[in-house]
Amino acid sequence: MIWDLHCHLSGVDGKTADERIAQLMVYADRMGVERLVFFMGWPFLTDPTPEQFRKQNDQVLQAISHWHDRAFGFVYLNAKYVDESIAELDRYVKNGPMIGVKLWVASRCNDPSIDPIIKRAADLKALIYQHTWYKTGGNLIGESTPGDLALMAKRHPDVPLICGHTGGDFELGLRAIQDSPNVYAGIGGSDPTAGITEMAVRTLGADRVLYGSDIGGRSFSSQLAKVQGADIPEVSKRLILGGNLKRLLTPILKEKGIKV
Amino acid sequence: MICDVNVYLSRWPFRRLPCDTTSELVSKLKRSQISRAYAGSFDGLLYKDLRAVNQRLYDDCKSQGADLLIPVGSINPTLPGWEDDVIACHEQWKMTGIRLHPNYHEYELSSPETKKLFAMAAERGLFIQIAMRMEDDRTQHKLMRIPDVNFEALPGLMKEQDGLQVTILNGMKSLRGANLIRLTENPNLTIEIAMLEGVGGIEKIMEQVPYEQILFGSYFPFFYLESSLNKLKESQLGMEIEKQITWENAQKRFAKT
Ligand SMILES: [Zn+2]
């Protein structure tokens, strides 16, 4: 059972959302990926206005509409627009089919002004994915680090939070979140550097590690390899490839009447 | 049967990697149906005594390579007396090719030494591998920020050396479109799939590069070996093309006759 936490419609062939997701499902089938979480439309926008993130969310909504129970959506928000983001959450999660939140690089998540969004998402049981990186050349101005997320996580100790890319530089990222029990490492979306998954399991325990691919920019192949090729027990691999994500999503999927 | 053109022995300078001992590496390759692997050495990046690096590489391949590892010596044409390293690789250790890291050794492919090195390799029938990068530049050590190799001068260099085989290792994260086609216009230029990304990566790159010029490479043990192996499944190549990419192409070009 493989559940993919991290999929995009960008970087994929096809004019429409429907064409793009149909394309991706061909490859998902080949690689045995059962369920996929999508967020953000195309082209990628680092600092979208409310009008723009709404349009991107509509693209995702359209894409997943014919893949009920197989493709899920996380709503893309921009923490610079708190009120509009909360309205968007209500529109797509409370009153729509989406089951999580994606926060990217518009503003850093350690800033407490993000808190109303986190609280609202938690009320709705939406799973929160925060992109993070530690870039040698320096992050974008609004780009969070795993350290930023650890600070935010302290203010919301009961809310599960996903540390996207595990900070890219996983040796730093894993250390930054090791003492934040509500933070999970999303290991997708970086080179298949050997040792990442072993270190994640060593540092956090297998139940805090989540597979995701970051397609279309990445491949299923390279990202699945991080788990399949890791020197860890089979039972840990099963948790990372799907068990953990299923567990984290079960409350909201149940609420929405989706079979898991 | 798979031939992997992109393997490294010894230690990555910044981290221990799973399978970074030759015996572990060989047993993992064997378990994964890799029956031939062209191996360079991570020591070739930063060590100055490349003669000793290449000697160790040769010894390791011979004593622990189980007829599977084929040594590919490191050459740095900015070192005094580098020509003797080429001669040693070819005559003393009977190597069939050499591996270059121009960015770690701070020279451009347009330099006069490169021209001389290419001529020497061509004359001796050695193939050349050039690694474009060794890791994502965003994760490099702060004191070791190494830019990607610039391949601008490569087509001109290759034109002067008829029959010289050149493979770009770790190039497919960024080489695309016109930049790629300019290189692969020369049928003696090959690429490998270690850093190829995107869904159905091999299928898609075949729209730009003839499959005869695509090789199986894993960049093991820095990358999980399964990454490149999975790519053979993510793309539907058909038996014939898969055989070419995973075995025949490399044999035709690099195997000792
Ligand atoms: Zn992503």
The residues, any chain, with a CB within 8 Å of residue B88's CB and separated by 6 or more, are: B51, B54, B73
pLDDT in tens, B202-226: 999 999 999 999 999 999 999 999 9
Is A260 domain-assigned?
Answer: no
pLDDT in tens, B162-212: 999 999 999 999 899 999 999 999 999 999 999 999 999 999 999 999 999
Region B6-17: mean pLDDT is: 98
Q: Please list every residue in chain A whose beta carbon sits closer than 8 Å to the beta carbon of residue B142.
A: 136
pLDDT in tens, B29-77: 999 999 999 999 999 999 999 999 999 999 999 999 989 999 999 999 9
Is A102 domain-assigned?
Answer: yes
Is A91 domain-assigned?
Answer: yes
Query: Strand, coil or helix: what is A199?
Result: helix
Q: Please list every residue in chain A whose beta carbon sits closer than 8 Å to the beta carbon of residue B192.
A: none
Q: How far is CA A3 from CA A248, A258, B149, B172, in A?
A: 12, 15, 37, 27
Question: A217: domain range?
Answer: 3-255
Classify residue B230 by burial, with Cβ atoms within 10 Å: 0-12, 13-18, 19+: buried
- Cβ within 8 Å, pair B230-A24: no
Q: What is the pLDDT along chain A (260 residues), one digit of tens a residue?
A: 999 999 999 989 999 999 999 999 999 999 999 999 999 999 999 999 999 999 999 999 999 999 988 999 999 999 999 999 999 999 999 999 999 999 999 999 999 999 999 999 999 999 999 999 999 999 999 999 999 999 999 999 999 999 999 999 999 999 999 999 999 999 999 999 999 999 999 999 999 999 999 999 999 999 999 999 999 999 999 999 999 999 999 999 999 998 88
Among B227, B229, B232, B233, most A C-beta atoms within 10 A, so best to mutate, is B227
Is A52 domain-assigned?
Answer: yes
What is the CATH number for A191? 3.20.20.140
Query: Please, are residues B55 and B74 in contact by the beta-carbon 8 Å criterion?
Result: no
**Distance between CA B64 and CA B66 in Å, rounded?**
6
Is A211 domain-assigned?
Answer: yes
Q: Which residue of B has its CA nearest to A226?
A: B224
Q: Please list every residue in chain A whose beta carbon sits closer than 8 Å to the beta carbon of residue B34.
A: none
Assembly ipTM: 0.97
Query: Please, are residues B41 and B9 in contact by the beta-carbon 8 Å criterion?
Result: yes
Is A150 domain-assigned?
Answer: yes
> Which helix (H) or strand (E) is A72 found in, with range?
strand A71-77
Closest Cβ opposite residue B227 in set A23, A24, A192: A192
pLDDT of amino acid B66: 83
* Phi, psi of B126, rounded to the nearest 5 degrees: -90, 140
Q: Is CATH 3.20.20.140 what the domain over B2-254 is classified as, yes or no?
A: yes
Per-residue pLDDT at B256 exceeds 80: no
- Cβ within 8 Å, pair B198-A23: no
- pTM beyond 0.80: yes
Neighbouring-strand partners of residue A191:
none
Q: Please list every residue in chain A whose beta carbon sits closer than 8 Å to the beta carbon of residue B225.
A: 225, 229
Q: Report CA(A21)–ligand 1 centroid distance (Å).
A: 15
How many distinct structural domains can be found in chain A? 1
**Distance between CA A230 and CA A244 in Å, rounded?**
17
Per-residue pLDDT at B257 exceeds 60: no
Count the neighbouring beta carbons within 10 Å of the beta carbon of residue A81. Answer: 18
- Cβ within 8 Å, pair B230-A222: yes
Query: Please, are residues A236 and A244 in contact by the beta-carbon 8 Å criterion?
Result: no
**Distance between CA A226 and CA A186 in Å, rounded?**
12
